[in-house]
Structure formats: C-alpha cells, structure tokens
C-alpha cells in the first residue's frame, strides 16, 4: 500500500505533539509590578519547552527523511509507525514534569527514558521497512545500518544522563541537550542523505 496516508497522519500527530508542549506555559495572573518575577519563575518550563520542541522537531525531520527513502508500507509498517507515534505523543508529559520539577532525579530519568523509547521505536520501524532493498529508494546496505546507528546512538548520552543524576544533574542536562545540537548543527558525523549507489 502507498505511504501517503501514513505520512499525512504522522505529520498531524507530530504537529499536535509540538503544539501540546506549549500548553505547560501559562500566562501569570499577578499584579503588573510582579509580572516579570512571575514570568521568570516559569523559566524552567520555558527551557523544557524549547528543548522538547527541538527534540520532537528532530524526530519529525528524521521520520520525514526515512519515509522519503521508502516506496511502500504494509500492515506491520503501519503498526510500527503507530508505536513510534505513541512514544512521540507521550513526550509532552515528561517534558511537563521536567519543567515543573527541574531538580528532580526522577524527572530527568523519566525524560531520558521516554526519549530513548522514541529512538528505539524509530530504529525498529526503519529496520523493518527497509528489510527488502527493492522497497527503498537509493539506500545501500551501509546507509541502512548507518540510519539504525544514528537512531540508537542517542541512547548513550541518555543513559549517561540517567547515571549522572546520582552525581551531577548539570552534567545530565548537558548530555540531553547535546543530542539535538548534534543533529541540528551541521557536522561531519551526521549524513543528511544517502550517498549514490555504486
């Protein structure tokens, strides 16, 4: 079956997930002279929103890139895609918890684990849909493995972020922030499109 409807549905889910993230930011109901202080108190929520928006945006770009390299999908592909979207839809919750309790070890653990599940689900979806080379568009065996690696690599900083909550939450945050920066800022480690087939 064609992938058009799955693409449209997935884009809608990503858009909704990105929009829900901002709902944690509330306009303060205080006296005008206390507005700045009240707004400043929401800084952790604002930072959690920005970080999560960039991460979900990164997931959307990756999802878009994957579908561009796949010709068709089947029943299993649809369910694997739904599994991926399930974890994407869940992100606003740990993002809200992180914004509300930025110094909580559990908040960082929940956030890191939630993001890890998205990466794992993405790797599973890609592995299944590209198992037959004829269902891909210009994807070599090497590039297929590379995309799997790119999906699973963030599990390393996310796991380290969890472990560092016992020693330094600052380091944990640095490790989490490192992931979207790695994928957004151009660098030689992230290949944006597959090289031409020989």
pLDDT in tens, the chain (198 residues): 678 889 999 999 999 999 999 988 888 777 777 888 888 888 889 999 999 999 999 999 999 988 988 888 889 999 999 999 999 999 999 999 999 999 999 999 999 999 999 999 999 999 999 888 888 787 788 888 888 999 999 999 999 999 999 999 999 999 999 999 988 876 666 665 655 554
For residue 40, the model assigns a pLDDT of 83
Sorted by where each starts, the structural domains of the chain and their CATH numbers stand as: 4-184 (1.20.1410)
- Residue 123 has what pLDDT? 96
Q: What is the 3-state secondary structure (H, E, C) of the chain?
A: CCCHHHHHHHHHHHHHHHHHHHHHCCCCCCCHHHHHHHHHCCHHHHHHHHHHHHHHHHHHHHHHHHHHCECCCCHHHHHHHHHHHHHHHHCHHHHHHHHHCCCCHHHHHHHHHHHHHHHHHHHHHHHHHCCCHHHECCCCHHHHHHHHHHHHCCHHHHHHHHHHCCCCHHHHHHHHHHHHHHHHCCCCCCCCCCCCCC
């Amino acid at each position: 079956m064609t992938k058009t409807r799955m693409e449209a549905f997935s884009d809608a889910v990503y858009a909704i997930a990105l929009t829900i993230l901002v709902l944690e930011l509330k306009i303060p109901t205080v006296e005008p002279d206390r507005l700045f202080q009240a707004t400043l108190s929401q800084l952790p929520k604002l930072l959690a929103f920005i970080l999560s928006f960039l991460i979900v945006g990164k997931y959307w770009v990756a999802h878009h890139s994957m579908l561009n390299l796949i010709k068709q999908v089947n029943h299993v592909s649809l369910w694997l895609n739904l599994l991926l979207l399930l974890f994407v839809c869940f992100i606003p919750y740990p993002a809200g918890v992180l914004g509300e309790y930025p110094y909580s070890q559990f908040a960082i653990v929940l956030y890191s684990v939630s993001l890890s599940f998205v990466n794992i689900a993405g790797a599973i979806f890609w592995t299944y849909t590209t198992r037959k080379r004829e269902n891909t568009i210009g994807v070599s065996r090497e590039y297929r493995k590379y995309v799997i690696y790119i999906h699973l690599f963030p599990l390393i900083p996310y796991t380290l972020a969890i472990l560092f909550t016992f020693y330094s939450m600052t380091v944990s945050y640095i490790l989490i922030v490192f992931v979207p920066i790695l994928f957004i800022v151009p660098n030689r480690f992230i290949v944006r499109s597959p090289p031409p087939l020989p």
